[in-house]
Amino acid sequence: METSLPVADRPRRPEWLKVRAPSPDSRYYDVKKLIHGQSLHTICEEARCPNIGECWGRGTATFQILGDTCTRACRYCYVHSGRPDTPPNPLEPLRLANVAAQMELKHVVVTSVDRDDVPDRGAGHYAATIRALKKKLPDASVEVLTPDFLDVEEDALQTVIGARPDVFNHNIETVRRLHARMRGAKASYDKALWLLQRAKEIADYPVLTKSGIIVGLGETNDEVVETMRDLRAHGVDVVTIGQYLQPSSRHVRIDRWVHPDEFRWLREQGEALGFGSVFSGPLVRSSYRADEQRHAALAY
């Protein structure tokens, strides 16, 4: 089994990956207090996102529903994995909507852990969250970043899309060659593509579909372009591409630091393929400036 190098032996981050700490006068601490006060989770904290200072400082956050324990264990992801000891909290959608209203969000992004232990894989909880947000913030757009809803995909999609999110996001994460190795036997590259296409087929309104790719796991740039080509062939509107950052010595080792020039080239390739929006850069994450991603796609 491959083991990662200790933290001290990992490749040093290049200058273009350095981030600033939150400034004392930003909204960062207000957002933190509000979210923690309502016992909500965010992927910003759970996944150690490098952009947390910037995003929380702007007064935005990406909410994580269905608890803090994921039933999967992807080799690149820092979110805690194991067997959840509690069912989804039925009050979470309302609490989340109340916090989003207090933050005065215009675009709300909601993701989750995988819950393979729940019969509907959490689809009903997603739908309840979307409905609560739309009731509390009728003028805001809602984006969901969902798991793959293993073995109940069709029913789960009907439930989630039935609540009418404005953006449906499911991350393919990596190229076909590395997919099973990085995501495990339960995940499927082709099922991810199917899920994105099927979401658009089910919707009786113009839902945007979106997916994200991590680079630095051992893929080539040509393979990334091939993945974008697959996504575009399945109707995906928005794609994000960002650098993998090894969160601990237990996770897969970084293969390489992708230079900003390469990210620009990948963005150009994606734009040539016809995506409405391509966000590509070292610190880009799926929900990074998600409101801007959506507006760019709508204006395309």
Within 10 angstroms of residue 194's Cβ, the number of other Cβ atoms is 18
4 pLDDT above the threshold of 50: no
Q: How far apart, in whole angstroms, are the C-alpha atoms of residue 82 and residue 85?
A: 9
Phi, psi of 4 (to 5 degrees): -90, 155
CB 266 within 8 A of CB 216: no
Strands 141-145 and 41-42 come out as unpaired
Mark 196-210 as b/e (b = at least 16 C-beta within 10 Å): bbbbbeebeeebbbb
What number of CA atoms fall less than 13 Å from residue 145's CA on the CB side? Answer: 26
Band of residue 114 on the pLDDT scale cut at 50, 70, 90: very high
The string of pLDDT tens digits covering residues 42-101 is: 999 988 898 888 899 889 999 999 999 999 999 999 899 999 999 999 999 999 999 999
CB 193 within 8 A of CB 226: no
Domain locations along the chain: 23-299
The string of pLDDT tens digits covering residues 140-182 is: 999 999 999 999 999 999 999 999 999 999 999 999 999 999 9
- Could you tell me the CATH superfamily of domain 23-299? Aldolase class I (3.20.20.70)
The string of pLDDT tens digits covering residues 201-234 is: 999 999 999 999 999 999 999 999 999 999 999 9
CB 126 within 8 A of CB 143: no
CB 270 within 8 A of CB 228: yes
Q: What average pLDDT does the chain have? A: 93
